[in-house]
Amino acid sequence: GAVVSQHPSWVICKSGTSVKIECRSLDFQATTMFWYRQFPKQSLMLMATSNEGSKATYEQGVEKDKFLINHASLTLSTLTVTSAHPEDSSFYICSADYGLAGATDTQYFGPGTRLTVL
């Protein structure tokens, strides 16, 4: 149980294009999902908290117009990197909250998406 999938696992795109990443909880419903960014040999940095049916909450310094998040159902959240640039190249990882609704609890992570912007 508690499986989270992420698609695609890797993507290469040209500068200026947009990329959509999907995060799905396969065997449980997740009111809350999270999007992280991880640079090589660094820790996970929370970008935003995605709440089903409402607007995402972005961390300080994360541009909400650049990183669009949609949590349309209890099993799917999407992150769209708009007008991607080489500095957006990174490992993007989602997680899903396995805990009680409204209370962050155990998080299970997706396998990550490696984005390379040329």
Partner 1 sequence: GENVEQHPSTLSVQEGDSAVIKCTYSDSASNYFPWYKQELGKRPQLIIDIRSNVGEKKDQRIAVTLNKTAKHFSLHITETQPEDSAVYFCAASIGTLTFGKGTMLLVSP
Residue for token digits 């999007």? 35
Q: Which two tokens stand for residue 22?
A: 């999907």
28 belongs to the binding site for partner 1 (CB under 8 A) = no
End-to-end CA distance of the chain: 37
11 belongs to the binding site for partner 1 (CB under 8 A) = no
Nearer to partner 1, 43 or 54 (CB): 43
104 belongs to the binding site for partner 1 (CB under 8 A) = yes
Contacts of 106 (CB under 8 A, 6+ apart): 2, 97, 98, 99
Total number of residues binding partner 1 (CB under 8 A)?
18
Looking at 31, 49, 75, 90, which residue binds partner 1 (CB under 8 A)? 49
Minimum distance, C-beta of residue 48 to partner 1, in the bound complex (Å): 10
Rounded to whole angstroms, the Cα distance separating 7 from 2 reads 17
Name the site residues for partner 1 (rule: CB under 8 A). 34, 42-46, 49, 93, 104-112, 114
